[in-house]
Amino acid sequence: MGKALAVDPGQVRIGIAISDETGTLARPLTILSHVSRAEDARRIRDLVLETGAEVIVVGVALDSRGQAGAKARSAHRLVDALRSISTLKIIPWDESHSTQIAAEYRILAGVKRKTRAKPIDALAAAVILQDYLDRRQTEDESA
C-alpha cells in the first residue's frame, strides 16, 4: 500500500497528515482553515493530488458511548463531499482522543508550555493516521 493522507476535521481548523511511501509512518503535513465543506473537500483533494496519496482517512469523533454526535455527523458530511469529487478510497476512522494523545506527545517530547499552546491539529491528524496504519499492518500480518 502506498501513501495515505489523514484529515482531522474541525470547526475552525483542519489538520492534515501524510504517510511515507510505504504507508508505515505518519507525519503532520499542514493545517487548513475551515472555509466551507465544499471548499475544504476541494483543498483536501488538491493536497491528495500534490502528495500522491492513494487513500484518505477522515477522523470521526465518536462520543464516550461510541455514538455519532454533531462532530461525527459533520465529519461524515465531509466524507460525502470528498466522495463526490474523488474516486479514491475514503475511510472514516474513529479519532477519539487523538487531540489529547497529540498533546501528551508534545509534553513527552519536552515541548515548552508556550509552544504547546499552538494548534496541534496536524499532529492530531498524524495520530489518527498512525492508528489507521498500525491497525492495517496488524490485519495484514494476521491474514
- Residue 140: its pLDDT value, please? 72
Residue 28 in this model has a pLDDT that exceeds 90 = yes
Confidence class for position 68, pLDDT limits 50, 70, 90: confident
Q: Cα-atom radius of gyration of the chain, to the nearest Å?
A: 15
CB atoms within 10 A of CB 92: 16
141: pLDDT strictly greater than 60:
yes
Looking at per-residue pLDDT, the higher value among 28 and 69 belongs to 28
Residue matched to cell numbers 496519496: 53
Comparing 43-47, 66-70, 105-109, 119-123, which segment has the lowest mean pLDDT?
Answer: 105-109
State the pLDDT at residue 72.
84
31 pLDDT tier (thresholds 50, 70, 90):
very high
Task: List the domains of the chain with CATH numbers.
Answer: 4-142 (3.30.420.140)
Predicted confidence (pLDDT) at residue 62 exceeds the cutoff of 80: no
Judged on CB neighbours under 10 Å (0-12, 13-18, 19+), 7 is buried
